[in-house]
Amino acid sequence: MSVKVTVWNECRHEQEDEEVKRVYPETIGGCLMDGLAPYGFDLTLRTLDDDEQGLPRSLLDETHVLIWWGHRYHGELADERIDYIQQRVLQGMGLVVLHSGHHAKIFKRLMGTSCNLAWREADQGERERLWVIQPSHPIAEGIPPYIELPQSEMYGEPFDIPEPDELVFTSWYQGGEVLRSGCCFKRGRGRIFYFGPGHETFPIYRDANILRVIANGINYVNQAHGDGWSLDNWGRPEPAEPGAPRQTRFKRPRKPGGVKPE
């Protein structure tokens, strides 16, 4: 079965900025759709200006992996919508957060930190070189020891994230900075991959290696299976050990479903 991937793109730069229109006439989301098509995913494109900000529950419920590209309008997304997306990730939906998505509400929500970093944006960009830290990691399949991008926006350390569960890439910048630019996190049943490069004025999402990393990332964060416990609140009135003390306190009314059968 194909992995169902929803590519969510803010898609306002592409309307507001002439320069972005020139670089991505098909929009960033459109470019990702084209670039990921050969990998056999079942792809859906949505933007901030679509119905329900492109993120209706019905779509999220069927999405295996959500790709996130946002920048200027993170604040427009209602907290309730973010609540639901977070819940879906904790249930196992994979999440790939690209570039300026470091400040997306959903990423900050899942990290618990500010996700601040250092940054510098030059007209012609600067050179970025992404070094593979773990060459045998599934996300590094098909990738050479480093990826060189002639034009990129600098995103530098310290990056205020929890220590990643896995560090796959670290970036070097021409201007003298470094970044943990490919980071995996597990939250609940879900996996998250943050991938740094992708400024809107540089054609980074046309780079074959970058696309390969994103495709690998999709496969990596796609939940392996849905077996086992759901990570819900788990009242266990009967102990696993026969004869051990049983639940006796039900003095206060509890919500139905609070105690689940095994």
Cα 68 to Cα 86: distance, rounded to the nearest angstrom: 13
Contact call for residues 96 and 210 (beta carbons, < 8 A): no
* Total of chain residues touching a copy of itself, rule CB under 8 A: 90
Other beta carbons within 10 angstroms of residue 28's beta carbon come to: 25
Q: Is 1 in the site for a copy of itself (CB under 8 A)?
A: no
Contact track, a copy of itself, 209-228, x by CB under 8 A: --------------xxxxxx
Contact track, a copy of itself, 69-108, x by CB under 8 A: -----------------x---x-x----------------
Strand order in the sheet with 4-9: 42-47, 4-9, 65-69, 94-98, 190-195, 178-187, 166-173, 126-132, 146-152
183 Cβ neighbours under 8 A, 6+ residues apart: 161, 164, 166, 167, 168, 193, 194
Nearest to 143 by CA among 101, 199, 187, 197: 197
With respect to a copy of itself, which residue has the nearer C-beta, 40 or 237?
Answer: 237
Among positions 18, 51, 80, 262, the unique one binding a copy of itself when judged by CB under 8 A: 262
Contact call for residues 86 and 112 (beta carbons, < 8 A): no
Q: Is 51 in the site for a copy of itself (CB under 8 A)?
A: no
Among positions 14, 88, 170, 210, the unique one binding a copy of itself when judged by CB under 8 A: 170
In sequence order, what are the beta bridge partners of 156?
118
Of residues 173 through 192, those in contact with a copy of itself by CB under 8 A are 173-178, 180, 185-190
With respect to a copy of itself, which residue has the nearer C-beta, 25 or 144?
Answer: 144
Among positions 112, 206, 208, 254, the unique one binding a copy of itself when judged by CB under 8 A: 112
83 Cβ neighbours under 8 A, 6+ residues apart: none
Tokens 């990056």 belong to 159
With respect to a copy of itself, which residue has the nearer C-beta, 11 or 130?
Answer: 130
Q: Is 111 in the site for a copy of itself (CB under 8 A)?
A: yes
Q: Which stretch binds a copy of itself (CB under 8 A): 2-10, 27-35, 54-62, 124-132?
A: 124-132
Backbone angles phi, psi at 80, to 5 degrees: -65, -35
> Closest distance between a copy of itself and the C-beta of residue 37, in Å?
22
With respect to a copy of itself, which residue has the nearer C-beta, 57 or 236?
Answer: 236
Among positions 49, 114, 206, 254, the unique one binding a copy of itself when judged by CB under 8 A: 114
